[in-house]
Amino acid sequence: MEAKDRIIVALDVSDVGKATDLVKMLSPHVGLFKIGLEFIWSSIASLLLFPENEAIELLKKVRALAAAIGGPKAFMDAKLADIPNTVKGASLAISSLGVKMFNIHASAGAEAIKAAVAVKKNSLVFGVTVLTSIDDSECVSIFGDKPNHKVVDFVSMLAENRADGTICSPKELSFLGASEVFSGLLKATPGVRPDWAVLGDQKRVMTPAEAIKAGADYLVIGRPITNPPAEIGSPVEAAKRIADEIASAISQKGE
């Protein structure tokens, strides 16, 4: 992969027009676009609540956005977490779109992971572990243990059930990479913030260079690219700067 192909831009916006503009602007400079829950549900709500003529126009815009992204550059961030049969049905629908990858929550369990993998077609199935907004104390409250331990549990389950990759904090990359058990899994990391970006609501973060050196294959990055600081410039300039940082880190690793 080229350095730019490791960048997944999070289209965490509710406006179809803004999302389309970002895709057209950034497509030559990044690898994938993440379609998340905010966009999915905002679009569905608008399609159902708008007057019919406006809903038809919105549907045309959504279809135009899908065409602009194209399946091979799409990451459907669905975070599926339900009983296995429901996960299977949703995974089948998503994979029929020809997306590059989609995700489920590893916490849904082994059978749900198997169900998604069974119907993935040419898509890659990634498993979400512990969200990067969750700190140690909250992780203990939710899952009964600290992030490092729970991530290992979840990633072990993903590997055992033939998922293609995992999504975890950059902070967990180093010990995941040290284990042969996880060597076959691709690793995508949100919680990536360049030195020049605002931290926001992410708690367990690294810079792009740090994440690549720690073993990340893909970096999920939203606001630092879609809404960069004024001194950085446009989204394209932000993406190029991050790609340069990734390339430098890869070179230093000797890849």
Residues belonging to the active site = 79
Residues 82 and 112: their CA atoms lie apart, in Å, by: 7
- CA 215 from chain centre, in angstroms, equals 16
Long-range contacts of 143-152 (CB under 8 A, 24+ apart): 143/107, 147/171, 147/172, 147/204, 148/172, 148/175, 151/176, 152/176
Q: How far apart are CA 206 and CA 215, in angstroms?
A: 12
What residues does 187 pair with on adjacent strands?
Answer: 166
Tokens 């916490």 map to which residue? 107
Q: Are the C-beta atoms of residues 187 and 168 closer than 8 Å to each other? A: yes
CB 177 within 8 Å of CB 151: no
For residue 137, count other CB atoms closer than 10 A to its CB. Answer: 9
